[in-house]
Amino acid sequence: MLPVNELRELRGRGTELITLYVPPGKVPDATALLRDEVGKSSNIKSSVTKHAVQAALRSTIDRLKGVSRDQSVMVVVGETSIGWISEVIETPKPVSSIIYRCGSTFFLDPIERMEDKGKAYGIICIDLHEVAVVVIRGTHLETVLSDESNVPNKQSRGGQSAKRFGANREIAIRAWYRDTANKINEVLVAEELEGIILSGPGLTKNDFGEESYLHYELRKKIIGIVDTGYAGGQGIRETLQNGQDLLAESELIKQRVLMDRFLRGLARGDGVSYGRNQVLHDLENGRCDTILITRDDKDIKTICERMGTTYAIVNNEFEEGRQLEVVFGGLGAINRY
């Protein structure tokens, strides 16, 4: 079985290489999808490409017959630069949906993002209306919980009705804390986390953290509290920005700091380069301190190792990484001079 980094180097003759990700229990659905693709492939004009694609699709269907119900797998099939490849690889973590690609290279981004690199951290972003919980592993951020509450908004009413409303609202808040903590305990206790950040607007995060709702093992790992304007997903993005000092040892934040250096140098008009030809020229002449790239590149990596240059693959799931990929062709350099 070829390692993932070697699969990255392989090329097909055209758009003939099949990559398929299948979550646990989804083999029948994936098989149905592939059979549908076999039918669609009859419209391919080139008879050579059509037969190659159909052969790869049928081979992929055959490989799925050996996948058990509880497995999460990546299947790669097709005629490559080193010959016929037909591999079933169990993914390090379950994929959440079926992913199908047919191209000139294998689609390896999802499985590469699953690789654990560096320290892992958790973020719990909560207010009285919603919560989002993420785990940062290396450069990948995974949402493990997203939920909304039934806590009623404050309202002003007089007399006994206001007292009853206030008491009922307090009961709803405590229930929200308790239920949310139970769900967080389920998804985080088994994780090997270096630390956890509590974040969100107002005092909800403080109240939630000070009580004994969270498992004691999780409470011991809280390394800080971060104020944000929002909870949920938007609050997570604010936490990554406002809590960089707390997350300084995570690979994700290290990369965002590097991208910030690159963009500031770009704004000044010095200290950076981009475009493959210019970066290779600067790299070969010893000018580059750090290479920033969105996809692994064996040639550039080899030169970096020879020149003693730092080589960082930037996650393109985030704004900075997308900017590097779309605007600068997925390659940039922070230079020594």
| Mean pLDDT, residues 258-287 taken together | 92
250 or 318, which is more confident = 250
Query: Which CATH number does the domain housing residue 50 bear?
Result: 3.30.960.10
Domain that holds residue 146: 120-249
Instruction: Check whether 28 has a pLDDT greater than 90.
Output: yes
Let me know: does 113 contact 96? Beta carbons within 8 Å: no
Instruction: Check whether 206 has a pLDDT greater than 70.
Output: yes
Q: Which of the listed residues 63, 80, 113 is the one where a domain comes to its end? A: 113
Indicate whether 36 and 155 sit together in one domain.
Answer: no
Indicate whether 130 and 211 sit together in one domain.
Answer: yes
Indicate whether 238 and 256 sit together in one domain.
Answer: no
Indicate whether 93 and 48 sit together in one domain.
Answer: yes
Per-residue confidence at 22, pLDDT binned at 50, 70, 90? very high
Return the pLDDT at 286. 93
Return the pLDDT at 228. 97
Return the pLDDT at 229. 96
Instruction: Check whether 225 has a pLDDT greater than 90.
Output: yes
Return the pLDDT at 216. 92
Q: What digits encode the pLDDT tens for the residues 34-88?
A: 999 999 888 888 888 888 889 999 999 999 999 998 999 999 999 998 999 999 9
Query: Which CATH number does the domain housing residue 146 bear?
Result: 3.30.420.60
290: amino acid identity, one letter: T
Indicate whether 292 and 329 sit together in one domain.
Answer: yes
Return the pLDDT at 5. 75
Indicate whether 132 and 73 sit together in one domain.
Answer: no
Query: Which CATH number does the domain housing residue 263 bear?
Result: 3.30.1330.30
Q: Which of the listed residues 56, 86, 113 is the one where a domain comes to its end? A: 113
| Mean pLDDT, residues 87-91 taken together | 93
Which residue in 75, 70, 1, 91 sits closest to 31, CA to CA?
A: 75
Instruction: Check whether 116 has a pLDDT greater than 60.
Output: no
Buried b / exposed e across 140-161, counting CB within 10 Å, b at 16+? bbeeebeeebebeeeeeeeeee
Let me know: does 300 contact 311? Beta carbons within 8 Å: yes
Indicate whether 107 and 150 sit together in one domain.
Answer: no
Return the pLDDT at 49. 85
Indicate whether 223 and 304 sit together in one domain.
Answer: no
Q: What is the pTM of this model?
A: 0.64
User: Hey, what are 297's tokens?
Assistant: 């590149």
Q: What digits encode the pLDDT tens for the residues 276-304?
A: 999 999 999 999 999 999 887 888 989 99
Indicate whether 262 and 292 sit together in one domain.
Answer: yes
Return the pLDDT at 3. 77
Per-residue confidence at 316, pLDDT binned at 50, 70, 90? confident
Mean pLDDT, the chain, whole residue set = 89
Q: How many domains does the chain have?
A: 3
Return the pLDDT at 281. 95
Indicate whether 169 and 85 sit together in one domain.
Answer: no
Indicate whether 280 and 331 sit together in one domain.
Answer: yes
User: Hey, what are 60's tokens?
Assistant: 């992929």
Alpha-carbon distance 90 to 250, whole Å?
Answer: 26
Indicate whether 158 and 107 sit together in one domain.
Answer: no
Q: Which of the listed residues 113, 139, 167 is the one where a domain comes to its end? A: 113
